Amino acid sequence: MSHMKIFTYPEPVLKKNAEPVKNIDEELQEIIDQMLETMYAAPGIGLAANQVGVLKRVIVFDGSPREEGANPQILINPEIVAAEGSIKWDEACLSVPDFTAEVNRNANIQVKGLDRNGKPLELEAKDLLAVCLQHEIDHLDGILFIDRISRLKRALYKKKLKKMEKGKSSK
């Protein structure tokens, strides 16, 4: 199996809304397997389909500590049905390299969707898992975590990105 390319900011695909999955077929199963492999290789704890250029409402994630082994989870057509509390979390993203920022999120959420076999699934999540799920579902709606930080911090990241690009092109 091969890794998929992870698109990075400012790629236009990251700002697009993913389409609901209507058919869970063999092609989708293959995409899910490749997304999991890509997420673990990156390494990351979550990956949304649009991050790999697939505009389908699919996320993969694994909030378990690395030392406990892999616990891959899949959510198709995920939606947050309940949210409460507030938490600040230092977030990073495979599509926003070399940058972290504190983001305000809901501390506890309830999410529903489908598992990879099309069976209804409901999850309650708190802390890191809640942040991860909100972050990945945002991706499906074309929202990056840098869209949730102050303009100043976002401008600083864009400036840093331009410097990095200049450095690459002068080599």
Determine whether 136 is an active site residue. Answer: yes
pLDDT tens for each residue of the chain, 171 residues long: 678 999 999 999 999 999 999 999 999 999 999 999 999 999 999 999 999 999 999 999 997 766 678 899 999 999 999 999 999 999 999 999 989 999 999 999 999 999 999 999 999 999 999 999 999 999 999 999 999 999 999 998 889 888 888 877 765
By the 8 A CB rule, do 35 and 28 touch? no
Among candidate residues 27, 30, 122, 136, the one labeled active-site is 136
CA distance 45 to 92: 10
Residue range 12-165 in CATH 1.20.950.20: no
- The span from the CA of 114 to the CA of 5, in Å, is 25
Q: Where are the domains of the chain?
A: 12-165
Q: What is the pTM of this model?
A: 0.93
Computed on alpha carbons and rounded to an integer, the radius of gyration of the chain in Å comes to 16
